[in-house]
């Protein structure tokens, strides 16, 4: 256990071989021996929090979420040292760039994708600061690891002791040279997005739960699945993912809420109507990829590389 309700899982290949490379911000999907709503194995995404230079182990931090869909509770209650689990290769929807100045803001378990970014920032002698917030000290994960970071750059904030983090005061002095990377609960990320409106600093976030989307009516559309040579109709009352799966087309999915990025699919033509919480505004505008669990089409026909 690395904090109250949070366990650390260290994974290695069962044959001892090297694991696929990854970069800060990446996650893997754990394939759990539980069935999801459609009877398929439950996939759960977890950020990699270990060292990118370690080619033989992946480290994950897993918060027990009593109100979740059972994946984290199963890991807490059933996984034992030596067990075998299937794991997807790493994917990265939260890439870390060489920004001039960086402010990391982690809320609780949101520290997991941030830790490798901090190591990278130290390695590259970047200008960085880290704020880790949690309700209580006991819920602050990886405290030992955090204690080894340069303490003049790290601030641990417990809201039960010090009240809510004053984000407005914290962010007011930041200029266009600063990028804020944040991961944590929705209220933290919603507040950051609101404060970022019209501000000069840049914001990159990763969510665990879907952001509120503006209400929009579903329109029916057709989808052409190029690799499967199929044309399908997506009615207003079904998701694109449901229609694809119903036609026997294999698409990995996990959250089905537009948060994890597992169902990301390449768009060959047509205009997606993005409703996910993964793609950045630039990526949405490019329209090259879409999350088929929640996103739909603005055009009458979408062509997908699937």
Residues that bind ligand FES (CB under 6 A): 253-256, 258-263, 276, 278, 291, 293
SS3 192: helix
Quote the distance between the C-alpha of residue 104 and its chain's center. 15
What's the rounded Cα separation, in Å, for the pair 136 and 254?
Answer: 30
The nearer residue to ligand FES, 38 or 54, going by C-beta atoms, is 38
Cβ 36 to ligand FES, closest distance in Å?
10
For ligand FES, which is the closer residue by CB, 120 or 296? 296
Whether 1 contacts 7, CB under 8 Å? yes
**For the chain, how long is the longest CA-to-CA vector?**
60
> Cβ of residue 113: shortest distance to ligand FES, in angstroms?
16
Rounded distance between C-alpha atoms, residue 157 and residue 242, angstroms:
42
Rounded distance, CA 45 to CA 29, Å?
4
Nearest distance from C-beta of residue 225 to ligand FES, angstroms: 17
Least distance to ligand FES from the beta carbon of 241, Å?
A: 7
Separation between Cα atoms, residue 13 and residue 98, nearest integer Å: 31
Nearer Cβ to ligand FES, position 112 or 277? 277
**Of 305, 145, 132, whose CA–CA distance to 227 is shortest?**
305
Q: How far is the CB of 262 from ligand FES (least distance, A)?
A: 5
- What's the min distance (Å) between Cβ of 11 and ligand FES? 21
Tokens of 63: 């918060």
**Closest CB to ligand FES among residues 99, 264:** 264
Q: Nearest distance from residue 278's CB to ligand FES, in Å?
A: 6
Closer Cβ to ligand FES, 99 or 257, answer by number: 257
CA distance 159 to 138: 12
- Cβ atoms of 184 and 106 closer than 8 Å: yes
| DSSP 8-state symbol, 25 | T
- DSSP per-residue codes, 45-89: EEEB-S-TT-SS-EEEEEE--TTS-SHHHHHHHH--TT---EEPP
Q: Which is nearer to ligand FES, 90 or 261 (CB)?
A: 261
Instruction: Identify which of residues 62 and 167 has a Cβ nearer to ligand FES in the complex.
Output: 62
**Which residue lies nearer to ligand FES by CB, 71 or 261?**
261
Q: What does residue 140 show for φ and ψ, rounded to 5 degrees?
A: -80, 110
Residue 118 or 241: the one with the smaller Cβ distance to ligand FES is 241
Burial of 37 (0-12, 13-18, 19+ CB in 10 A): exposed
Supply the minimum distance, in Å, between the C-beta of residue 242 and ligand FES. 12
Q: Report the C-alpha gap between 251 and 272 in whole angstroms.
A: 17
Min separation Cβ 91 and ligand FES, Å: 11
């Amino acid at each position: 256990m690395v904090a109250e309700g949070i366990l650390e899982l260290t994974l290695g290949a069962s044959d001892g071989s090297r694991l696929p490379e990854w970069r800060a911000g990446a996650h893997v999907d754990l394939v759990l021996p539980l069935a999801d709503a459609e009877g398929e194995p439950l996939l759960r995404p977890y950020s990699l929090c270990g060292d990118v230079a370690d080619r033989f182990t992946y480290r994950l931090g897993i918060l027990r979420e009593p109100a979740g869909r059972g994946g984290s509770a199963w890991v807490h209650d059933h996984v034992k040292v030596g067990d075998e689990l299937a794991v997807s290769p790493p994917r990265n929807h939260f890439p870390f760039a060489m920004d001039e100045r960086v402010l990391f803001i982690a809320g609780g378990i949101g520290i997991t994708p941030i830790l490798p970014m901090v190591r990278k920032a130290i390695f590259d002698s970047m200008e960085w600061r880290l704020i880790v917030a949690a309700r209580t000290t006991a819920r602050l994960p990886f405290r030992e690891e955090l204690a080894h970071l340069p303490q003049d750059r790290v601030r641990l904030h417990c809201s039960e002791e010090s009240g809510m983090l004053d984000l407005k005061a914290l962010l007011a002095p930041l200029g266009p040279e600063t990028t804020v990377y944040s991961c944590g609960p929705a209220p933290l990320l919603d507040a950051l997005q609101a404060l970022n409106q019209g501000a000069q600093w840049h914001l990159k976030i990763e969510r665990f739960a879907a952001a509120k989307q503006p209400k929009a009516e579903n329109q029916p559309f057709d989808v052409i699945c190029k690799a499967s040579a199929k044309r399908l109709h997506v009615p207003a009352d079904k998701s694109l993912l449901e229609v694809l799966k119903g036609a026997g087309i294999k698409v990995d999915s996990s959250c089905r809420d537009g948060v994890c990025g597992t169902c990301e699919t390449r768009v060959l033509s047509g205009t997606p109507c993005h409703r996910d919480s993964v793609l950045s505004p630039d990526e949405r505008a490019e329209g090259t990829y879409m999350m088929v669990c929640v996103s739909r089409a603005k055009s009458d026909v979408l062509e997908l590389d699937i």
